[in-house]
Each structure stands twice: as structure tokens, then as C-alpha cells.
Amino acid sequence: MLSNSALSLTHVDFTWPGHPSFRLRLADFHVVRGQKVLLLGESGSGKSTLLSLIGGILVPDSGCISVDGHDVVRLSAPARDLFRAEHIGVIFQQFNLLPYATPLDNILLPLRFAPMRRQRVGDAKKEALRLTHALGLPQDLIAHQQAGSLSVGQQQRVAVARALIGKPSLIMADEPTSALDAGSQSAFLDLLFQQCDEAGSTLLMVSHDDRLAARFDQTVSMAEIAEFERGRAT
């Protein structure tokens, strides 16, 4: 593993339990600390499975998955959950906000499960308000409006703030620009990149849109790094 590697996967082999025809194999994949990497692949190419392996939600049959110098494969299930909460921020394609909670409550939620991440924040509410201000969210709705009542663009920015709070070492973003037009995509990436830089976080973003490639430090396709046999899983 490279000493400056934020993420390293070596000889990873994963077969979906009960579905031996679903298999993902990677020889080597490394992301340098602080980089912004775009991982391209069509629907069904194994991108979401790869993110689940990196986050420790799934465990490979063999191989090493190192995040910030820690091999998540060797951790117990509870330890993987804690490690993910402490070190990885995730921006989901569907945002996965709690619709009846306020944006502020949604942003602060990861800190409930990650004491070290909570300690890095200091004043959690102040940091959440700083992030939302930097992301262009109206401050009057953060603490009072329900997250489910926000526009798609506003929900997206709340999801970004939730992933970034506490400065996790790795941010994983799953198709966060898929519902945006080209102008909105560019503006969103400007905000995301700026906040990742300020947090010192490495960014791994998956997408099927190769038009985004010019914005990233590195672009990798699933076909370049993985052999994928697809069964009934996605």
C-alpha cells in the first residue's frame, strides 16, 4: 500500500452470498490522499457494490481494503460500523434524509454514532451552520423546516453537509449529479470540491456521465479495474 494512499484495494474478490454468478474482482485500485477521483460505469457495472465493500457494509471473500491506513476487512462487524461512521462520509444518490427531521438534525446525525468525529467538530451546531452557509442554503430553514419539504437541490446540499461534517478522511458520492442539468452539475461540483478541500477529505465519486471527467484529478472506469459477472444483485 502506498504511504500517501487514502484508499487501497488489493486482490479483492467478492461473490454475492447465494448467487455465485454475481462476482466482482479487482486486482489493484489506489486513490491518493486529497485527490478527487471519478469512477465511471454503467448501471449494473458493480459501482454500488464496490462502494459497499469500501464502506465495510459488504465483506469480500478475499483481499485487502484499506481506508486511511486501516484494513476494514479485518475488522469485526461492529468495528466496521464504527469505522465507517468515524472516517467515511457518504452522499447517496437519493440523499436518504430523514424527511420529518429538520435539515440541522439530518446534518448532525452522523455525529451521534462517531465520538471521535464529534470531537473534531467542536461546536457541532456552529459547524453545521457554517457548512450550510458555504453550500448556499438559506439559514432560516435549517433549524425549523422539515427536510422532506425542501427542493431537490436543497436536499442535495443538506446531504453534502451531512457527509462533510466532522471532516471524514474519505467522501464517497454515489451519482449525486444524476438529476441535475449541466449548469447545476458544475455549480454543485464547485461547492463540493471547495468543501472537500477545506475539510482535507479525499473524494471518490461514482457516475455514468463521462462528461464530468475533466473536473476530476483522476478518472477510472470500472472496466479498467474490475472483472464483473452479474447475477441477480445490483
Mean confidence (pLDDT) of the chain: 90
Q: Which CATH architecture has domain 35-46+76-221?
A: 3-Layer(aba) Sandwich (3.40)
What's at 4, amino acid-wise? N
Distance, in Å, from the CA atom of 219 to the CA atom of 206, rounded to the nearest integer, reads 10
How sure is the predictor about 41, in pLDDT bands with cuts at 50, 70 and 90?
Answer: confident
Residue 233: pLDDT over 70 = no
* Domain ranges, ordered by start, for the chain: 35-46+76-221
Residues 6+ apart with CB under 8 A from 171: 88, 89, 90, 91, 163, 164, 196, 201, 202, 203, 204
Residues 6+ apart with CB under 8 A from 112: 118
What are the φ/ψ torsions at residue 228 (nearest 5 degrees)?
A: -135, 125
What's at 108, amino acid-wise? L
Residue 162: pLDDT over 70 = yes
Residues 6+ apart with CB under 8 A from 125: 104, 108
- In Å, how far are 93, 105, 163 from 100, measured between CA atoms? 19, 10, 19
How sure is the predictor about 176, in pLDDT bands with cuts at 50, 70 and 90?
Answer: confident
Helix (H) or strand (E) holding 29: strand 19-32
Distance, in Å, from the CA atom of 139 to the CA atom of 180, rounded to the nearest integer, reads 23
Report the pLDDT value the prediction gives residue 42, as an integer from 0 to 100.
85
Burial class (CB in 10 A: 0-12, 13-18, 19+), 93: middle
For 88-181, where are the alpha helices, taking DSSP H only? 103-108, 115-121, 124-134, 139-142, 152-164
Report the pLDDT value the prediction gives residue 2, as an integer from 0 to 100.
55
Distance, in Å, from the CA atom of 14 to the CA atom of 60, rounded to the nearest integer, reads 4
Report the pLDDT value the prediction gives residue 94, as an integer from 0 to 100.
86
Give 28's strand partners: 10
Q: What is the pLDDT of residues 66-76, one digit of tens each?
A: 999 999 999 99
Report pTM. Answer: 0.91
Give the angle subtended at the CA of 15 by the CAs of 59 and 221, to the nearest 5°: 85
What are the φ/ψ torsions at residue 65 (nearest 5 degrees)?
A: -125, 110
Q: What is the pLDDT of residues 5-34, one digit of tens each?
A: 899 999 999 998 877 778 899 989 999 999
Mean per-residue pLDDT, 31-49? 90
Give 135's strand partners: none
